[in-house]
Structure formats: C-alpha cells, structure tokens
Amino acid sequence: MDFNPFNVRVVVRVAGLAFTLFLAIYIGVRYEWYISMCCLFFIAGAMALELIQYVKRTHQDMLKFLGAIKHSDFTLRFAVEGAPPQYRELHRMFNDITESFRQIKAEKEVHHQYLQGVVEHLRIGLITYDKTGQIQLMNKAAHRLLDLPFLQNLNAATKLYPNLTEVAFGEPTQEGKLIKLKQLTEEVLLTVQVSSLRLQGQEIRIMSFQNIRSEMEAQELDAWKKLINVLTHEIMNSVTPIISLTSSISDLVQSELTPVAEAGHLDVDTMEDLQLGLRTIEKRTRGIQHFVENYRRLTRVPPPRRAPLNIQALCDHVSRLVEAQMKDQHIQFLMQLPEEVLWLNADAEQLEQVLLNLLKNAMDSCAQMEDPRILLRAVKDPKAEHLVRVEVVDNGVGIAPDAQDHVFIPFYTTKPQGSGIGLSLSRQMVRQHGGNLHFTSKPHPQTTFFLTLPLLVEKGKE
C-alpha cells in the first residue's frame, strides 16, 4: 500500500478510534469506572464523526469532479496551495485530468469547426441523419436548395417533397437518382445520392444532392446552338445561289424576252406569269434568308459590355419605353423598387432588351383581360443577399401546364406570329451576366418571370 499523507491520516484516526473504544470497554469491565468509560465513549464518538467528515470531504470532491466530467464542465478547478496537505495531491490530480479533458474537447471543437467550414463551403447540399430522420448536420447549400431555412427532422419535409424523403429512407445506393422539386418560385432538378455507415452501433445516413437544371439547360442551349449553326449554314448555302440565280434569270427574261413578246412571238400573259413566278421565287427565298438570319442571332449573342448599372435607373427607363403602349391597351402598370440603391455590373442594352421582351409578353398575355395588370418589381433575393431579383408579374392567360417545360426551347412559341426565340435569347443574355431566368405560372391568377442577377458588391460598399 502506498502510505501517502491521506492514507496515513486515515490509518491513524482509525487506530485512535479503536484504541479509545478498547480503553473504554477495558475500564468499564475491569475497574467499573463508568463515568470514565462514558467520557471515553463520547471521545470515540467525536473521533468517529471527525473521521467521517475527513473521508466525506474526499468523497464530495470526488463527486464534484465526476459530475463536472459527466456534464463536460472542464472549467472546474480545485485549490492546491490553500488546501490541507492531505488533499493537495488529490486536487492536483483532479486538475491535471480536467485540463487533459479540456484540451481534448478544444481539439474536438477545432476539428468540428474545420469540418463544418468545409461542409458549408460546398455548393452541394449535404444532410446527415439517423434512421428516425433526425438531422445531425445540414449545410447552407441544402437549406438553399430545399428552400427550408429550418429543418430538424426529414419527416417534416414529406408533404413538401415526398419524392426526396422516399429516396432518403429508401435503400442506399451509389448511383445518383434524379428527382424534381417544385418550389415557390421555380422547379429544380436534383441528383440525389444516399450512403450509409455505422457509428457506435447506430446507422447514420449521408444524403448529398445538387441542382443540375442550370447545367442541363446550358448543355441543351449549346446543343441547340450547334444544331442552328449547321442548319443555317446549309440553308444559307442553298438559298444564296437561288436568290442570285433568280435575280439573274429575271434580268435575262426582262432583257431577252421582252422584245420577243413585243414582236408578237410570245404571249404577253405568259410573259407576265413568268416574271411574276420569278419575282415570287426571289421574294420567298429572301424571306427564308431573313428567317434564317433571325435564328442565327441565337448563336451570335455578343458578350455583355459591362459597366456599373443602377437597377432603379434601368427599371425607370424601361417603364418609360412601355408606358405609352400600356395606356393604349388600358393596362394598369405598377412598379415597386427598393429604397436602397442597387448596382449591377452589366450591359444596360442587353438587360433592357430582356425586360422589354418580358413586358411585351406580359402585355400580350393580359391584353384580353377585363382588368389587365402588370407589375415590375425589384428586390434583394431573400435567399441570397448578394443577388437582386427583378420580377415581371401579370394577371393574364398565363402559360398552359403542358407548355411550361418548352417556353425556353428555341423556335417554340404559342403565339400565331411568334418566332420562338425571344425567351431563349433573353435567358442566354441573362446567363452571360451570371444570372438566371425562370418563371411560375397559374393561368389567369398570375404569371411571374424572375430575373436574378448578382449585385456589384464593390459599388454597394461605397
């Protein structure tokens, strides 16, 4: 046994107590000194109480130490210098153990913050959860993609996104699954992957997902541009010689056959029919050439000439351009702009063209309504403070559900005289600015086009 000061003092007290009890019994039995015996018993009781208090203090210190460890309170310190000698070594050991735990906790917190920082930096949504759906970690990208600022359990999202929770609680697979999520302002296309691992006997699932709609739309646009390039090249190669030959033949007919017709060797009606046919061929061929040139614009959108642009000034200028036409069609036009001046680094002419196209479509949509209304609104995007969102809202006939997936496809149009390139061209211009163009539509109640663009941070700081 290691006889440290605490053990020595305990042994001495126990021995003193035993000797006192023995002496009291001996005096009472041998000499019948009952008063002395009672006094010795009283002294023995006092010694027993002192021994109990002596041991109890150590027990209390031990309970205090273990309680602090249990509740991860590593700030507890035991006095060493001012404590009785028998407690100093014990208190020093307690302090050393507490400091070791504190360092381990600090290192764990640093690693957790590092991991949290890495996870938050990811543009991919990431959620970890247990078999009951209780969420343990959810990064900002996940909150943004799901449009849920607060979520504790995945089961709470079942009503909003049943297909997402079906994948989350289904059989884990290494292959990503594609799902569509309808949000308030847009529909996102997510690729979702779920994996499983066991930690301390508990199953933990990791679900990652990202929005691939923008990438797919960009690839789709590239495919359309390549197709248009091929088609327009081949068509123009065929149309240009036809125009040239038709013009030459028309001139030749005019110069060579006119004297023959005047001499009576050629019927005048036949001559006129021949000239009319040639003029018709030339006119229709030039129409095809003009038609092809319009579609070439989709592949020849110039890069934006960026400059600081005041969003309020842009909206004011566009509203003045359409104000007269709105009045002629008896359309109630409203504009809502933020008090804070918002700046973009953008091409004013291209964005003006985009807004004019959206407003023109809105006017066509609500032209037949009894109380047509159009709203042009600019606000900071509530999901991201570094973005501005310009909305064009109308109460017109809207876009039919079966047509909503096709409105940005080149050449697709629901208008009798439409070309089908306006919205495709607008989205391409917006993407070149690092933004996005999407919409929601419920026919007759409301159709809203959302134009989202990055703010000029440096200008806003001045």
pLDDT in tens, 138-163: 888 888 778 787 888 888 888 888 88
C-alpha 181/C-alpha 144 separation (Å) is 13
Residue 115 lies in a domain: no
274 and 312 share a domain?
no
Mean pLDDT value of segment 25-29:
82
Q: In sequence order, what are the beta bridge partners of 134?
A: 153
341 and 456 share a domain?
yes
For residue 393, give every residue at least 6 positions away whose Cβ sits within 8 Å of its Cβ, in sequence order, or none. Answer: 362, 374, 375, 376, 377, 446, 447, 448
CA distances from 348 to 68, 92, 141, 304, 315 (A): 64, 73, 31, 9, 11
319 and 455 share a domain?
yes
Low-confidence winner among 127-131, 200-204, 319-323, 359-363 (lowest mean pLDDT): 200-204
86 and 139 share a domain?
no
314 and 442 share a domain?
yes
Quote the pTM value.
0.51
Instruction: Out of 186, 211, 236, pick the residue that ends a domain.
Output: 211
Where does 158-280 show beta strands of DSSP type E? 173-182, 187-199, 202-211
Q: What is the pLDDT of residue 1?
A: 43
Tell me which residue range forms the domain holding 134: 122-211
Q: In sequence order, what are the beta bridge partners of 430?
A: none
Q: In sequence order, what are the beta bridge partners of 446?
A: 442
C-alpha 347/C-alpha 350 separation (Å) is 6
342 and 293 share a domain?
no
Give per-residue pLDDT as tens, 88-137.
777 778 788 888 888 888 888 887 787 777 777 777 888 888 888 888 88
Instruction: Give the burial string for 160-178 (b: 16+ CB within 10 Å, else e).
Output: ebeebbebbbeebeeebbe
Residue 47 lies in a domain: yes
61 neighbors 87 (Cβ within 8 angstroms): yes
320 and 246 share a domain?
no
Residue 111 lies in a domain: no
Number of domains in the chain: 4
